[in-house]
Structure 1
Amino acid sequence: MSDAREEILARVRAALADVSPAVEVPAPPRVTPVADLVGLFRERVEDYRATVSRCSSEDLPALVATTLSGLSVVVPGGLGLEVPGSVTDDGLAAVELDAIDAVVTAARVAIAETGTIVLDHAADQGRRAISLVPDLHVCIVREDQIVTDVPDAIALLDPTRPLTWISGPSATSDIELTRVEGVHGPRTLHVIVVA
């Protein structure tokens, strides 16, 4: 160890000598079960200025078509839903993705307590770029994918897969604390919850 480093550490130890030992912090309590997970999820997602729709699996194709009317759309190869006029992503270049208005993906899990959607980029979700470049992200979440809180979601996720956590449209308040949407991803998020 260098003399300079040892000197710095000695000063830190001396400065902390009169600080009382750390207080043991209890683990946070688990969230109590929620009677209406879908309702809580919807409320939290809408708090982020996203749109939430609910439908049956039979009504899903029509709702997606209505939502995307007149827009250019990219879908992942494994989506398993026919989206009229869409382009299937086969490794589109960034400039090609930038020219597309919307993307439709599925989700891996959704968290009611935080209104967060997690993608693990399986075949029905596609690669990360398609969920981040187009201006509108239509994300399909099945009701049985909604869990109560983050620990419940983490238990379902594979840590070796790339994960994208989405809590509303992309937004930042870095510049003069003014909210700006669409800086680091889609400006608009439309979540369709399927019964």
Structure 2
Amino acid sequence: MSSRDLILDRVRRALADGRRDDTPPAADEAGRDVSYEQAVPRTYLREHGERDVTETVDLLAENLADYRAIVHRTDTTGLPGVIAELLAAHGSSSVLVPPALPEEWLTATEVAQVADRAESTPRELDEVDSVVTACALAIAETGTIVLDGSPDQGRRRITLVPDHHICVVRVPDQVVPSVPLALERLDPTRPLTWISGPSATSDIELDRVEGVHGPRTLEVVLVSGGGDE
């Protein structure tokens, strides 16, 4: 096989849906390329230490707070009241709502609800005070929330423009210990957004500025007792 054929074959394999690695192409007795069937060896550590469910959730809360997210804990019964209190404390007069957000989550608040619409302009989104979403999962070791654009999370931009994001995490069902374990549960074809704390940056003097390219305030509500309902 020439160098040209080798390069073109690697391009074809990179664009294929099958598993692939960087080993040279392999062929079966009929001359068909079967190298895509070779699984990539993954020998790295999948999780750091051993923790039970409670310890994993506690680690998530600790790392979320370390990234300056504000963490709250409640159960499914208390969730509507917590969301109402957070919206009131922020002084919100409007809240952006994904299309499939459970209706009962907002039953305790009278804040005006704004639908997630494709035609909404950035200026219109910027005028909304808060957004409430669910999540795909949360990673304990890194304090990271992952959104995948599902109907209860809405379009990616609705969590990037409003200044205040309230994100609900169902525990323990949506909590995983590590990034490798998270990747096994996530769909790579979805528009994944990984959030570790509120949006922030620092200048050369390390002066921290929040809300530069996303919400200035991230509040995470850990909800127990609800499963995936």
Q: Which TM-score bucket, shorter chain as reference?
A: 0.7 to 0.9
> 2:201 — aligned with what?
172
Distance across 2 between alignment mates of 1:94 and 1:101: 13
Give 1:155's aligned amino acid: E
> 1:126 — aligned with what?
154
Greater shift in the superposed pair: 69-78 or 163-172: 69-78
Give 1:80's aligned amino acid: P
Q: Can you list the C-alpha shifts for 1:64-104, whole angstroms capped at 9, x where unaligned? A: 01110140211101111342422121222211100011100
Over 3 Å off, 4+ runs? 26-30
Q: CA deviation at 1:178?
A: 1.7
Provide the secondary structure at the position in 1 that maps to 2:85. Answer: helix
Give 1:64's aligned amino acid: I
> 1:63 — aligned with what?
82
Provide the secondary structure at the position in 1 that maps to 2:44. Answer: coil
> 2:71 — aligned with what?
52
Q: Pick 1 or 2: higher relative contact order, CA cutoff 8 A, min separation 6.
A: 1
Give 1:108's aligned amino acid: A
Q: CA deviation at 1:49?
A: 1.0
The TM-score with structure 1 as length reference comes to 0.83
Q: CA deviation at 1:121?
A: 0.7
Structure 1 unaligned regions, length at least 5? 1-25
1:11-160 equivalences in 2 (<5 Å): 27-28=44-45, 30-35=47-52, 36-69=55-88, 70-71=91-92, 72-82=94-104, 83=106, 84=110, 85-91=112-118, 92-143=120-171, 144-160=173-189
Structure 2 unaligned regions, length at least 5? 1-42, 225-229
Give 1:58's aligned amino acid: T
Distance across 1 between alignment mates of 2:152 and 2:162: 17
Q: Can you list the C-alpha shifts for 1:29-88, whole angstroms capped at 9, x where unaligned? A: 632222311111000000011110011101111110111014021110111134242212
Q: Can you list the C-alpha shifts for 1:102-138, whole angstroms capped at 9, x where unaligned? A: 1000000100001000000100000011011000100
The TM-score with structure 2 as length reference comes to 0.71
> 2:210 — aligned with what?
181
Any conservation in 1 of the 2:46–2:181 contact (CA below 8 Å)?
no
Any conservation in 2 of the 1:61–1:81 contact (CA below 8 Å)?
no
CA RMSD of aligned residues (A): 1.4
Aligned residues, how many? 170
Distance across 2 between alignment mates of 1:46 and 1:165: 16
